[in-house]
Amino acid sequence: MNLLFALLFYVATLILVGGIAYRIYDYARTPAPLKIPTTPAPTTSGGVAFRMFREVVFFESLFKSNLWIWALGWTFHLGLALVLLRHLRYFTEPVNFIIAFIQPFGMYAGFAMAAGLAGLWARRFLVERIRYISTPSDHLMLALLLGIAVTGLLMKFVMHTDIVAVKTFFLGLMVFEINPLPSHPGLYLHLGMVVLLMIIFPVSKLLHAPGVFFSPTRNQVDNPRETRHLAPWAAKFEAKN
């Protein structure tokens, strides 16, 4: 199992990093010739940066459209962010002061993460119009994330495992050294779902994480008159006249 999980994490990391890098490259080279920012839109680059900050941190457009979904989504993402920061202790030695400080907050953020996911998943069953457009992959993503959150909470509060050995395992992977993992079914299940999530992330709807920065409705300055787009054939025609 030690060798198996070591190989799985190496492969999953390559797929995750390479896949996201390729997607970002693909997004960056995709032409966006038309000015289509959602109005009212900022007219300066600084305004666009501030708008993106509000969108990424506070989910501004979702807040304006649906408060219930915003509350569930923001609860999940805030919980996930704290949980991920808390898990950095498994990859650093010594542990940074900030990471040590957020440990108790990150521990209980797991409940917020699970609650937000449960609400978002229930919405896909209970709201008819959302149920109609939901695909199996939508349910898989939510089930996988919820499974990771629940197994993590179970290992913390119910079926404890040797976290020192877990940290030793991951610190070893970072220097290509395979150390033993605790023999723990819950840990195996938790890590297996994490590996699966890492592998499918670059081909899933979860790519909205980097994709939001390339959305022309959000990242464009509202200046269509000042920087009017011309198709190549129109530019040649205008140059002649």
Please provide the size of the chain in residues: 241
* Contact yes or no for 82/109 (Cβ under 8 A): yes
Please check whether the domain covering 1-27+37-216 is classified as CATH 1.20.950.20.
yes
What is the dihedral angle through the alpha carbons of 181, 19, 107, 7, rounded to the nearest 10 degrees? 0
Q: pTM, whole model, 2 decimals?
A: 0.89
Q: How confident is the model at residue 229 (pLDDT cuts 50, 70, 90)?
A: low
Sorted by sequence, the CB contacts under 8 Å of residue 135 that are 6+ apart come out as none
* Contact yes or no for 176/151 (Cβ under 8 A): no
* C-alpha span between 100 and 88 (Å, rounded): 9
Domains of the chain by residue range = 1-27+37-216
3-state helix, strand, coil in the chain (%, to 5): 75, 0, 25
For 120-139, the pLDDT digits (tens) are: 999 999 999 999 999 999 99
Percentage of residues of the chain with pLDDT beyond 70: 94
